[in-house]
Chains A and B, each alone.
Chain A
Amino acid sequence: MELASSTARRCSYFFRTKSILILWMLLMAVVFWTTYFHYKYDPKYYYLREMLGSSLYLSRGTASMLNISCCVVVLPMCRGLGYLLLSLAGEHSCSLIRCWINESKKIHIICAVTIVVASILHSISHVINAQNFSHHYNYHFKDVNVANFCGEDPLFTVLGTVPGVTGVAMVLVLCLLCSSSMSYVRETCYDAFWYTHRLFIVFLVLLVLHPISGVLKEQSNIDHHIPGCRMDNLTHTDSKTAHLERLHEYFDECVVQPKFIPQNTQTWKWVVSGLVVYVIDFTYRLIRRRSTSGVAAVNNSQASVLELTLETKTRFSFRPGQYVLLNCPKVSLLEWHPFTVTSCATADQAKFTLHLRTNGDWSLFDQSEQTSTFKVPYTATRLYIDGPFCSPSEGVLHHRVSICVAGGIGVTPFASFLNYIRVRTRNLDKLAVKRFHLLWLCREMQSFLCFTDLLTCIQNQMWEENRPDFIDIQLYLTRQYRQEQLQNILRACPGLVYKVQFGRPDWPCLFREWEELYRGKLHCSLLGNSSCLKWRKYDCTRQRHRIRIMMTYSLETFILTYQCYLRIKVPNMTFHGHTLHMLMVISIIHIQGR
């Protein structure tokens, strides 16, 4: 009984986490098989089948897979669309939609892999088709042929037709796209990936042109000419179908020659519909894109973090946890970099703040000098803003208990939550979240300083409102310091001494504490950055043996490689006979150097 229930649990968990993949594979299988059998049994394609054999069905089956996946592959990249969908659905939007939008990159990759696999099969089958076209040249009905004469070199057959040339070009473009989007290339030279990926437009245009000249022909006059009725004259008579034999019982012979017309192509409908959605999304983002009227304030007191307060002409509305893309034309015209909005949107002001950790060669201030100075006079600097966009960390507000683990600058989404809560201290009961644990881990003491004021302020406000249990903030300093160094550092930052703990968090102890605190249903959101990811993963897997958590890890990278969100799902944990529903989301904000 125990075994059966655990198996059922594991199965349901598997189907929930892999729902997208399973649905997609089912769809692809259905599409493939319907097209495959359509071409295998439809009498219109009798003469093509005579020449090409089974590679015809394979090529057509994979072609329809390609049509659909080339349409779907652009949809997850419409971030404006995702934002609109979630905004329309409101704050209490369906978790499935939210989950799908958050996993948009995963969907994109699944579609891309489908395209690659289908293209390989499609190319192989067309290579064989080309050979068959030239070897099994049809002397009786010359219209159906693609080759010019019997025994033509298939290479010239392919290169002499529009579909052949576009097909070859598409495989080359696809190869470039794939090789440049391997994870190692994305990590080391992001520009190669980013600029090469713009070739997708070329790919889609070629895809529209590929079938449009109609090389593969179907017979149009089946009523007047029974396919294969002059079979004794044909070179290949081994594949009679039952359907034709039945027809032969009624008709003795045909008098009319078969007519061949190009097939109706469906490809452009799919590709154009995908492209139209993409273009609409892109235009929407262009319209929404705005320039800041100026930088209101710059706080660069911390060594590597720059606090920018930006002002826009119109009111800028966003929800906590969302991010914007920032472009500084004086640094680079083409580069848009994502940053989480850390302040809270209020009705009366058009200001918002961003925290920028300087890393890599795109930075707004000079790193070469010891004291960080703004590259250009900041009041005159014009920055461009694209966004806001949704991020998975928005989910923190929708769960009863949120346990957030942040590493370094990864705290920015939570800073915006804290700001959000700070404005709403008087009506905390209206929020879905009832308790907010924040574990913030930093290597350097200085890193804590960028949000010291916020943390102190919110703590005081919570005490004033008599709700000190609403927020639990724990700070961890993880770097190894010598004792005297530590004392010096702590003396330098007096405001925080009472909260900072040394070393990494004691996870088993914390888990035990949460286990005692929250019995019943519980949602946890864990956020951190990639350097803490390794040991977090280790700790979670070690925990799994003790408290039987099932976990999967899926890394999501947004726009550029800078923001990575990791999602851990922990379904149906059993503690002391209680069943816990836990959802942990680890989100990593990892700013990489370009």
Chain B
Amino acid sequence: MADETDAACQAAAPGDWDRRSVLALGVGSLLATVLQGARPAAAQSAQRRATLVIGLDISDATGLDPVRVYQYSNPLPTHAAYDCVVTFASGDAVNLKPALATKWEYQPDGKTVRLTLRDGVKFASGKPVTAEDVRFTFARQLAIKDQPWQYISHVEDVKAVDPHTVDIVLKDPTLPLMTIIASPPFGITEKALVEAHGGTDAADAKEKDKATEWLNQNSAGSGPYRLVGWQRNQQIQMVKNPHYWQGPPGYERVLIRHMSESAAQLLAIQRGDVDVAFNLIPEQIATLKDDPNIHVVGMTSLDFVYMAVAAAPSNPALQNKYARQAIGYAIDYDGIINNLAGGKATRPVTFLPVGVNGSTAELTKEIGFKEDLAKSKELLAKAGLPNGFKFQLAYGNASIAGVGYQTLAQKIQADLARVGIQAELAPMDQVNMRTMYLGGKAEAVLTFWNPPAPENWLWSSATINRVAKRVHWDVPAEVRQLVADAAAERDLGKSAELYKKYQAAMVDAANHFVLIQPIYQVAIRKNVEGLELTANGWMAELGKAKPA
């Protein structure tokens, strides 16, 4: 029946078919028109040359108001828009450099830091940067009490002594300050502009301050670029600050394009639609080796992937220090770095990344854990567990610098099996894992640490307080004293010595095994020069980049 219908219908087909093919042709030519000239020599246009386009996953950013900046990607634009009183040069996470302040000195009372401000610095608005602006910035931060505030909660008061001098008074002068306020959340904001948009530094600012919405779309700083728009999950737009105190920046505009997929970033940098790609994984980096237009720059981060092993109440074996040390000596660290991370990583002794004061890769060889199966077996015997033991290793479904936790966990499982330790793998979603770990319910986890600022105390105090609780470490009084002394010591050399002792104590406690400190690989097109990458928390010095 149907065939008959077909035959009958086909008889009359030609005219009809012609119409359809005309339609198809129409759709095709419409498509061609749409696409035609859709790539208007974009890469060559003058406007394009004067714009620095950065490909970056910015989906984590929840705000660009400095007092609320605490995620991973938003420090980059925040640092470009705001200057802090002091800063760190790229590649140096130890020695502070002057920025808006030319001098900072502890006063004889021991608890006041006096800042002397640089002359002639203007905000992007053209108004001068004054002591009152600095005071307002910190007062607003202290009153709003959003997350970055915790790092300076030991500040008692900030006073403008005269237009060029600011005093910061500390409640607890043994805690560090200057290294912390070098980070983007402490960028100096222009008081008049912030107040004009609802900002306040009054005691009730937590409820009353309304400037965040405006500061998410605009900036009020003195940095090389000025924020002019943020379309969430789409892009962050900045324009040149003509008043920048270090001379006009190299680009008219900076665009940070949200690209969550590394494969899309790869295509975009190959095609020249972006100039810098931050989130490429090692296999993609490898494909860029022979690209004449792109160079790949490595940046040793201050982030690291570590395994925390708790003295868990649920597992008697893990409560034995020697058993945990046995884990530390059974891991093939070089294999992890060379094979899993493609050699693009280093490894610190413990919870202080290589590059900060008192932590070097050489020290790891000296006092850190290393692969030594005989020693591991010896320790197991000493723990009374010559045949090994079992524990559960939890990890999330994520990857860092191209290394998936899953792969890493399997590698560790295989390594530990060589001495009879059985790691039972427990993959779970990231949120679940974090909830379990923070609640002190995990036996062992693979996770990640990234610092808000290159200040040793931020790591060391975490390990003896909140992180100690998670791993059920009953911190000895002398270790607590060591951490306090190291933080209070203002002489860098002396504090480095104290931090070495701290690291040795951490190795002995054997609750943390740092596995990978990534050397991030960033692809930059050769038409950009002077772009300095930094590990100090804001990824790059955009102010120094210019067209080649």
Whether A and B are associated in the same complex: the answer reads no
